[in-house]
Amino acid sequence: MDTLINLIKRISIFFTLGAILFFSQSISFPANALQCRDVLVALTDPSLRLSTTTFDRLTNDLRSTLGGKLATVWRSEWKAKLNGDQANQYVEKLLKQFLTVETYAEVTGGINSNDPQFVAHVHRRLFELKNQGRLDPSHDQIMVRDAPPPAGVQDSTFTYYTKSIVDGGGKHQVRIRTYLREIKPEEMSLETPIQAFDRASQNVTIVRKENDLFQVQLTENGNQALLNLSKAELQSRFGRLVFYAPHGRSFKLEIKTALKDQIGSNPSPVLGGNHMVQKLDVSLTPRQVAELFKPLNAPTTERRISEAITRINQLRTELLSSAKDEASQRRIEAVLRVLLEGVQITPEFLALSGATHYQRSAFESTAGFQTTVDWAQIVYQGIYSPLTGLMNPMTVTERGQRHVPDQNSTRHVELKFPVNAVDAVNGLTLYDSNSRQLIPDAPLNLQNFSQAIDVYAPFVTSNDHPGKFNFLRRNGTETSTVEFQGD
C-alpha cells in the first residue's frame, strides 16, 4: 500500500510540475518566477551527463590531489539499511571480535542490546576508556573516532546536495557539509560549559549554573556580553537552540566520486561490484556557501551560465588567496573544475536539491578500516526561501520538508576499507590501470580486514548499496515532526 501511495504522489507531482513548466513557457513571467521555474527543473531533471572523456579527466584531476587517510579519501563504501536491533547486533559483534574479553565486558556491561541508544552508550564508554589510557592497541583493536557530545547536547551532520554528474558508469556528487549542535538545557550538567557558534558564526558559550539559571556568553554588536537567563528566556532568544557545532563553523565543499572500479566477489558476493569511492574537499565559510548557491538572477540561460561561472571564479580567487601551499591550490582547482562542468550543462546545477541530517557513531580499527552507524536520519527538501534564497542549516531543520526512514531502515551502516586493503582482501579491478601505481604498498593486518567482513557481510542483503539522500527521497515518509526520528 505504501508503494502505491508513493507512486500516486510521484505521478501527481510529475503532472503538477509539467503544468507549471508548460505555462511558464507560454506566459511571460517576471525574473523571480523564472528562477522558481528553473529551480523546479533543476530538482526534477535526471542526473547531469558528461562525456566519459570529461568525466574521467575530472576523476583523475581530483585523484592527483589525494591526501590523508585512505579509509577516508580512497576506499570501499559498503552500505546496509538496518533497523535499530540489527545495528545494535552488528556493533555488539564488532566489539566482541576486536576487543579483549575484559574490555568488551566493561564497554557493554549493564547496557541492554535492545536499547535504541545502545550504539551511543558503547561509543561513550569506549571513548572514556581510550581517554583514560585503559585500551591496549595491541589487543583492543577497535576505537572510536570522535569524542561523544557532553550531556544535554546532540551533535549531528548536515549536508546539502547538488544534482549528481554521471557518465553512465561513475558519478560525481557535490556535497556541502557542516556539523550542528542542538542544546537541551534541561539535560545539561551543572558548571559544564557548552560551546557552539550562532547563525552569524559568533561564539556562544552556555553554562548551567542552577536548575533554571543559565549563564550565556556571546557577542552582541561586536562586544562580548554575559547574560543570566532562565530556560524559557534561552528558548525565547535562540528558538530550538540549534547552532553550528564547534567543529562545524565552516563547511566542506566535497566531491564524492563513485568510481568505476570493480571489487571482487570473494570472500563475500554481496560486497562485490561498484562500491569504491574517492572523496576530496575544500573549506568554505557560511557566507561563501550562501553566495555560491543563491538563486541566479539573469533572465536567460546563457546569461545565467555566465553568472554561475562568475560566481565560481570569484570563489576560486578567494580560496586561492588563502591557500596554505601548492597542494591546497591544486585541490581547490580540481574541486571547482567539477562545478564549472556542471553549470555549463545547466546553470541550475547551483540550485541545491536538498539536504541530509543525521547523528553518527564512527568506529576505527587499529588495522585501518572504519565503520559508521548513522541514525536519526532526515532528508530535507524545500530548502530555498522566496525571500532569502538558500536557507541556512538551522532554518532548514525548522522549515524544510522532512522525509524519514521506515522502521526497517532507521540505521544506515557503512564499512570502509582503504584501497590497498580492498585490493589485497577482496581483489580490485581498476577502471584506470595507471592508478595502480598510486596504491600504497604498506603492510596490512589482513586477518583483521577479513574478520571485519565476516562480521559485516551477514547484515548486507544485496549488491545494491543506496546512499541516504536518494534512498530517503524515494522511500522515506514525509513528516512534520521537528525532532530527530529514531526507532
- The total number of structural domains in the chain stands at 3
pLDDT of residue 69: 85
Question: Does 387 map to a domain?
Answer: yes
Whether residue 43 is predicted with pLDDT greater than 80 in this model: the reply is no
Question: Does 442 map to a domain?
Answer: yes
165 and 314 fall within a common domain: yes
* Mean model confidence pLDDT for the chain: 89
pLDDT of residue 479: 83
125 and 227 fall within a common domain: no
CA 374 to chain centre: 10
Instruction: Give the whole-angstrom CA distance, residue 207 versus residue 229.
Output: 10
Instruction: Give the whole-angstrom CA distance, residue 312 versus residue 292.
Output: 7
Q: What is the DSSP string of 317-385?
A: HHHHHT--SHHHHHHHHHHHHHHHHHHHH-GGGGS--EEEEEEEEEEEETTS-EEEEEEEEEEEE--EE
Question: Does 212 map to a domain?
Answer: yes
Find the mean pLDDT for residues 9-13: 44
pTM of the model: 0.89
375 and 275 fall within a common domain: yes
pLDDT in tens, 469-480: 999 988 899 886
256 and 155 fall within a common domain: yes
162 and 211 fall within a common domain: no
357 and 425 fall within a common domain: yes
Residues sharing a CB contact under 8 Å with residue 424, sequence separation 6 or more, in sequence order: 444, 446, 449
pLDDT of residue 46: 60
Exposure string for 173-184, b = 16+ CB within 10 A, e = fewer: bbbbbbbbbbbe
147 and 191 fall within a common domain: no
Residues sharing a CB contact under 8 Å with residue 82, sequence separation 6 or more, in sequence order: 90, 409, 410, 411, 412, 413, 459
Question: Does 305 map to a domain?
Answer: yes
Whether residue 72 is predicted with pLDDT greater than 50 in this model: the reply is yes
Q: Which residue type occupies 368? A: G
82 and 231 fall within a common domain: no
Question: Does 484 map to a domain?
Answer: no
167 and 258 fall within a common domain: yes
Question: Does 487 map to a domain?
Answer: no
Instruction: Give the whole-angstrom CA distance, residue 199 versus residue 215.
Output: 19
Question: Does 124 map to a domain?
Answer: yes
Instruction: Give the whole-angstrom CA distance, residue 146 versus residue 27.
Output: 54
pLDDT in tens, 272-308: 999 999 999 999 999 999 999 999 999 999 999 999 9
342 and 303 fall within a common domain: yes
Whether residue 485 is predicted with pLDDT greater than 60 in this model: the reply is no
Three-class secondary structure of residue 74 per DSSP: strand
Closest of 252, 479, 251, 256 to residue 377, by C-alpha: 479
pLDDT of residue 23: 32
Q: Which domain holds residue 21?
A: 1-44
pLDDT of residue 5: 42
Could you give the residue ranges of the DSSP H alpha helices within 380-438? 393-399, 419-425
Whether residue 335 is predicted with pLDDT greater than 70 in this model: the reply is yes
77 and 217 fall within a common domain: no
Higher pLDDT, 479 or 104: 104
Residue 196 and residue 179 in contact, taking contact as beta carbons nearer than 8 Å: no
Question: Does 485 map to a domain?
Answer: no
39 and 56 fall within a common domain: no
Whether residue 10 is predicted with pLDDT greater than 60 in this model: the reply is no
